[in-house]
Amino acid sequence: MKRRFMNKPLQKPQILNVETVARSRLFNVESVDLAFSNGVHRVYERMRPSEREAVMIVPVLGDKLVLIREYAVGTESYELGFPKGLIDPGELPFDAANRELQEEVGFGAKKLSFLKKVTMAPSYFSSKMNIIVAEDLYESSLEGDEPEPLVQEHWPLAKMMDLLKEPDFSEARNISALFLVREWLNQQGRL
């Protein structure tokens, strides 16, 4: 396929029709009929867009990262990663981060820092994840909705990139958070 460079700005395609094609308790799949500015028509499928965002928290406890091991039904395995969860309606991202941290890890944070908002598979999902660093941790627990206790793992900051060698640390948002927090710590002269 020959690639052409365009000098004019991109124009969003026109949405001709949106139709629900499948629905479950958690998911709503839509068919989206699009007309592109060059006259091409295509039908895409996506998860119904949601305004609800999520948080992923990178807890730093002294010279260690705090991770959790949680069952992921999609891969049918236990995955190593950072605590995360949905932002409740009316809740701010920092409040959600502190709540999820207490529910999943048993710590609250006196200091929260926003790193970046990321998306996952934007061709199919509208989900947005706010990546937040939690520091100055103190013991505090809230009851969460996890079906079983989450196993904690403390990982040395000095060896944080070795997480990439772990076969169960493979979820893309966790890897993004790892690189973002490494850059953030480097900028502060902490690594």
For the whole model, what pTM was predicted? 0.86
Tell me the torsion sign for CA atoms 166, 171, 175, 178: negative
Q: What is the pLDDT of residue 1?
A: 55
Q: What is the pLDDT of residue 6?
A: 62
Instruction: Report the 10 Å Cβ neighbour count for 60.
Output: 22
User: CA–CA separation, 122 vs 28, rounded Å?
Assistant: 16
Q: Which segment, 23-27, 147-151, 162-166, is predicted with the most confidence on average?
A: 162-166
List CB contacts of 150: < 8 A, sequence separation 6 or more: 68, 69, 70, 83, 104, 105
Q: How many percent of the chain have pLDDT more than 90?
A: 76
Of 97, 6, 8, give the one whose Cα is nearest residue 56: 97
Average pLDDT of the residues in 157-169: 97
**DSSP notation for 53-80:** -EEEEEEEETTEEEEEEEEETTTTEEEE
Q: How far is CA 158 from CA 19, 82, 154, 182, in A?
A: 50, 17, 12, 10
Tokens 């609800």 found at: 52
Quickly state the pLDDT bin for 4 (edges 50, 70, 90): low
Whether pLDDT at 184 is above 60: yes
Quickly state the pLDDT bin for 2 (edges 50, 70, 90): low
Q: Give the tens place of pLDDT for each residue, 87-145.
A: 999 999 999 999 999 999 999 999 999 999 999 888 877 889 999 999 999 999 999 98
User: CA–CA separation, 64 vs 158, rounded Å?
Assistant: 8
